[in-house]
Structure 1
Amino acid sequence: MTQVRADPHATATARFAVLHNAAEALLDTLGERFMVERRESKELLGPTDALVRTVRLIPRTPAAGPLAVAFTDFPGLMVRLGRWWAEALPACGCDDCGEDPDELADVLRTQVGALVEGGLWERVRRGVGGSWFESRLIGVGLSARREGPLTARDAREARRSGFAAPVQWAPWPRRF
């Protein structure tokens, strides 16, 4: 995960604090509705970054994709769905970009909703220049695709973990 960094052109960053509130509420709701294990820790987002609070929700079935939310000091969020889907909220945070915190909270809820309903598909593919990950996220009002390079080590680990063939994460198990 890459951390959202303070930008000298970001003067009203406090407006993004609502993202922390939205994420906390969403994590609590998911913990109540689904059979998941909640793990909290302090983690580095990168080799030169400070420790940040990270909350992981791990479904009680290995066929369902995990969720990780890191709460940055910006304030912002780094969200990881499954193995490779990563989202920085806000992406920039500068005044010129004008990202709306309420819209970003909706992005968070929409993407997590797609994961929970089994709408995340991931795989590793080999190419002439190396290995790449490919991810697709499909949900209500959402159809997105991402890909990116993998190190040789990450590609081997992914193939050992069953990602040589496409993996569609299962829906999260609901509490009864």
Structure 2
Amino acid sequence: MDSYRRPRIEPVEFRDADGVVIDYGNRWGGESPPEDSYSVLSNVERFRPLHRVAAALIDALVAVYEVTVEDDVSLASDLMHPRGDVERAVRVTPADPFAASLTFVFTSHPSAMIHAGLLHDFLYPVCTCDACDEDWERIADRMEWDVQTVVAGGYEERAGRSGVGFRLADESGTRGGSGRSQDIPRARLDAAVRTLSGIDTWKVWPRIR
């Protein structure tokens, strides 16, 4: 997306009990994290910049592609699993019905989520516990790549009674996952199966002429 630039975000330092700056993303030096760190959620405000990244991605999509934009918290119902901490939800729908829509969800935790196409949600971050040691810059890298890959026509979904799955792919690599069809409401699954039966891979988003 040639119109996108990551917003400039001033770094914020977080310190431990001894006053030492925490180097998120590198805390455990390749070793296994302490057992008690899995149950701790500290300094989750470090993920707040992801809201600005998501908003900048929306602006870039609107500037370049032929889309319809809806901004309403009720659109968080697109998510596969309900959230009770939604602050904002924005659905960006490309003009081509064979291109995958994106619904951006901003939560108060804070985190961001994107529902892509019909049956898959992407979480940023996936987990906020201290053991996972996520830092927002790396998560933003993944969010940007996911959105750009969907828009470029590199997103595939599959659905059936035997399971559901997705694949994201471009020249730099691939990412995918799968899940149980039993975990999806029957009506939603059946509708997705009907739609996806005519789509091998979601199409490239049409640009504004």
Q: What is the TM-score normalised by the length of structure 1?
A: 0.84
Deviation for aligned residue 1:166: 5.0
What 5-or-longer segments of structure 2 have no aligned partner? 1-37
Count of aligned pairs? 165
CA distance in 2 between counterparts of 1:66 and 1:48 reads 20
What 5-or-longer segments of structure 1 have no aligned partner? 1-6
CA RMSD of aligned residues (A): 2.0
Q: Does 1:172 align with 2:205?
A: yes
Range moving further from structure 2, 87-96 or 148-157: 148-157
Deviation for aligned residue 1:170: 0.5
Matches within 5 A, 1:43-58: 43=74, 46=81, 49-58=84-93
CA distance in 2 between counterparts of 1:134 and 1:91 reads 17
Higher strand share: 1
Is the contact made by 2:85 and 2:108 (CA closer than 8 Å) also made in structure 1? no
What is the aligned counterpart of 1:110 among 131, 141, 145?
145
* Identity within the alignment, %: 30
Name the residue aligned to 2:9.
none
1:158 corresponds to which letter in structure 2?
A
2:153 corresponds to which letter in structure 1?
G
CA distance in 1 between counterparts of 2:138 and 2:172 reads 14
| Higher RCO, 1 vs 2 (CA within 8 Å, ≥6 residues apart) | 1
1:174 corresponds to which letter in structure 2?
R
1:9-44 Cα distance to aligned partner (Å, 9 max, x none): 122111101100111111101110111111111135
CA distance in 2 between counterparts of 1:19 and 1:74 reads 11
Q: Does 1:92 align with 2:141?
A: no
Deviation for aligned residue 1:48: 6.6
4+ long deviations beyond 6 Å: none
Q: What secondary structure, in the 3-state scheme, does the structure 1 residue paired with 2:159 have?
A: strand
